[in-house]
Structure 1
Amino acid sequence: MTQRHQAETPPGKILDGLESLERELKISGFTTQIIKHRARPPTLHVRNPKLPHMDDEISCTPYAKENGDLWFFFSWGHPISHVAHIALAVLYVKHVLRSVR
C-alpha cells in the first residue's frame, strides 16, 4: 500500500503536472481528458484508443515516501513517477495500458 501525503498542494501545481503528462500521452497516441472535480483535485483520464477497455484515471498528489513531492498515481494508488519525470511516467502508463497478447 502506498502512502500519500495529506499536506495541501496548490491546485495549479497539480493541474500543471497533469497537463504536462496529458500532452506527452497524446503525442504517444492515447486519448486523454483532464477531469475537474468539485470536492477533490483534478485527475487525468487516459485511454488506449486501440483497446478502449484499457483506461485509467491518474492523479497527481504529494507522496509521503518522497518528502511530499508531487507524484503521479494510478487509480488504485500505485505510484507512477515524480512529476518532473514525464518521460518515465509516459513509459509506465504505456506499459500498463498496453495490449497483452
Structure 2
Amino acid sequence: MDTETTGAAIARYLQELRNRLDEAGFTAVVETPLDAVPYVRVGNRHAPVLSETIRIDHYRVDGDTLWFFYSWGDPICAARETDRAAREIRNVLGNR
C-alpha cells in the first residue's frame, strides 16, 4: 500500500497550488521555514500590494481532511482541489 505522509501531502498540494497560480500570472513561492509549516506566498504581479499567505491545515470540522486557509484563518477549500483554490485566491487578489 502506497501511503503518503501528511508532510509529503502538504508539500505536494502547495507545489500544485503554486503551479496553478503561476500559470494564472501571479507570483507564487513555496516557503519552507525551519520552525513552521510550509506555505505559499502569492502576489498579484500587476498590483504588488495585493498578496496573501496560503497555508494548509486539518479542517476543524472533521480533523482528517487537509484544507487551504487564508492567513486570517478562513478556509478556502480542500487541499486536493488545487484548481478551485487557485480560482478563489485569484478572486481575492484580482485577476490579471
Q: TM-score, normalised by structure 1?
A: 0.84
Count matched residues.
Answer: 91
Unaligned regions of 5+ residues in structure 2, if any? none
The alpha-carbon deviation at position 87 of structure 1 amounts to: 1.5
1:83 aligns with 2:51: no
The alpha-carbon deviation at position 67 of structure 1 amounts to: 3.7
3-state SS of the aligned residue for 1:13? Answer: helix
The partner residue of 2:93 within 74, 94, 97 is: 97
Ranked by relative contact order (alpha carbons within 8 Å, sequence separation 6 or more), the top structure is 1
Stretches (4+) displaced over 3 A: none
The alpha-carbon deviation at position 40 of structure 1 amounts to: 1.4
CA distance in 2, matches of 1:95, 1:50: 14
1:13 aligns with 2:25: no
Q: TM-score, normalised by structure 2?
A: 0.88
Q: CA RMSD in A?
A: 1.4
Unaligned regions of 5+ residues in structure 1, if any? 1-8
Give aligned-pair identity as a percent. Answer: 29
3-state SS of the aligned residue for 1:44? Answer: strand
Match of 1:55 in 2: 51
The alpha-carbon deviation at position 84 of structure 1 amounts to: 1.5
